[in-house]
Amino acid sequence: MSLYTLTPRPGFDRYTIQVGWNPHRTYFGTVVDFSWDPVTDPDNQPDTVRIGQVETILDPTEVLLAVAPYADIPTDLAATLRADQVARPARR
């Protein structure tokens, strides 16, 4: 499994953004605000993105497009994720 934590874009500092390859046959991405408290801040509910947890995603660009509004995406990240898939192929 690979996991990369991305740098949030300005204005999205509250989010933790991660992408990676899971050798159970999918790329995945998450955008989560772990600091949000619905009791103290009920009117400022965060966005949440979870992709590749239920569905199978075999193209890393699909995951990167889903998290791109929230994070700076390194130019070589799609290639790195593809290399992770090759290095850790899907388990049978």
Interval 1-14: pLDDT, tens? 899 999 999 999 99
Instruction: Collect all residues with Cβ–Cβ distance below 8 Å to 35 and sequence separation of at least 6.
Output: 14
Whole-number Å distance between alpha carbons of 11 and 92: 42
- pLDDT range class, residue 45, cuts 50, 70, 90: confident
At residue 40, the pLDDT reads 86
- Token reading at 38: 């619905």
CA 48 to chain centre: 11
Label residue 75 by pLDDT band (50, 70, 90): very high
| Band (16; pLDDT cuts 50, 70, 90) | very high
Q: Structure tokens of 49?
A: 């993105």
pLDDT of residue 92: 62
* Full-model pTM: 0.89
pLDDT over 80 (residue 91): no
Q: With contact defined as beta carbons under 8 Å apart, do 57 and 28 qualify? A: yes
What average pLDDT score do residues 12-27 get? Answer: 93
